[in-house]
A = this chain, B = another copy of it.
């Protein structure tokens, strides 16, 4: 997430006193050679040149305008980027599960999207803000409060084969639903930064269905809140969210923290996703970052289980090393192994593994930011 910023001088506009305005073009291109291995009956392996093994690849534009009197306006447009093949990434217009593509009577299955046609969208963040002494009001598509504890307190930053199992969940997803990471149509408020280490945010987001009395009319509408404290070696936060779906409202609660010992930064978090009238998923992570000269060792153990028949559970051990060639460019490698129980078959790096069988994965990559 280190971004080498490019500042573009703004043309002086007659009558505008604000001299501190700027627009920044920024991005990350992270390429990963990824190997995934499954085990058991029907398992398969995969080798791919993929992306975002260390940091999420992206291309963005952002800027701030000083409005005077401590006020500022700003925008942030950030697109996900599959730099292995040049595609962008889709977004969600309504915080709901995407509709199935048309049924194909010839193959007897729903059609799949055509590979290679996804254009750039600002799926990662697309916001406009007003900020001042009161804090910041932010409108648009943004991360949800319930996501931050999973990524900030994961040594692997929820990227690559080492991604915390509390996000990866069971067999490909946790129970947090479409707003686990981001929400569209959101209105957020952030506390000001000068509260002696305390920080916090609330967010409300809209599913934007027509209000016609249907059971699903509030699907995708929800809210989240996160509060934390960071000072010296300590950072800790608590978050809660609730999102409405006719198929079962989803409530997520999580908390996380880190302590910087100097020789290592220890991290832990706990997450619970509860579907009304349905299942509950729970998990936690324990890990840390260990500085090593120009690099860093990353290690984590994380687990997630769901209280349905058999209580499927997946647990991951991940170990990695990042070598910084500069502040902008790094080489990295990660090894991970996920064990499955209770019928779980969580895979790594695109492999397929049999129920109750393990999967292993390796990442080798380069991250370049600008």
Interface residues, chain A, CB within 8 Å of chain B? 4-11, 13, 15-16, 18, 21, 23, 25, 27, 29-31, 33, 44-50, 59, 61, 63, 65, 67, 71, 73-75, 77, 79, 81-88, 90-94, 96, 98-99, 101-106, 111-128, 130, 139-141, 184-187, 205-206, 208-213, 325-329, 350-352, 366, 368, 370
Contacts and interface: CB of A to CB of B under 8 A. Distances in A.
Contact of A102 (B102, B328, B351, B366): B102
A279 B119 CA distance: 35
Contacts of A130: 329, 366
Q: What copy number does this chain have within its complex?
A: 3
A185 B84 contact: yes
B91 A49 contact: no
21 contacts: A13-B327, A16-B327, A16-B328, A31-B140, A46-B211, A47-B208, A59-B61, A75-B370, A81-B126, A83-B141, A86-B121, A86-B122, A88-B120, A90-B116, A94-B116, A99-B115, A101-B114, A103-B105, A105-B105, A128-B366, A208-B350
Given A16-B327, A85-B185, A101 B102 contact: yes
A206 B47 CA distance: 8
Contact of A31 (B59, B77, B128): B128
A105 to B, nearest CB: 6
B120 A119 contact: yes
Task: List the 5 closest A-B pairs by CB distance, nearest first.
Answer: A119-B119, A85-B184, A86-B122, A86-B126, A31-B139
Contact of A120 (B16, B101, B121): B121
A96 B112 CA distance: 15
B73 A122 contact: no
A127 to B, nearest CB: 7
A121 B184 contact: no
A231 B328 CA distance: 36
A116 B92 contact: yes
Contact of A115 (B31, B79, B98): B98
A329 B88 CA distance: 29
B49 A21 contact: no
A327 B212 CA distance: 40
Nearest to A130: B366
Given A88-B120, A116-B90, A121-B118, A329 B77 contact: no
Contacts of A61: 25, 27, 59
Nearest to A210: B44
Given A92-B115, A128-B29, A206-B49, A10 B4 contact: yes
B73 A325 contact: yes
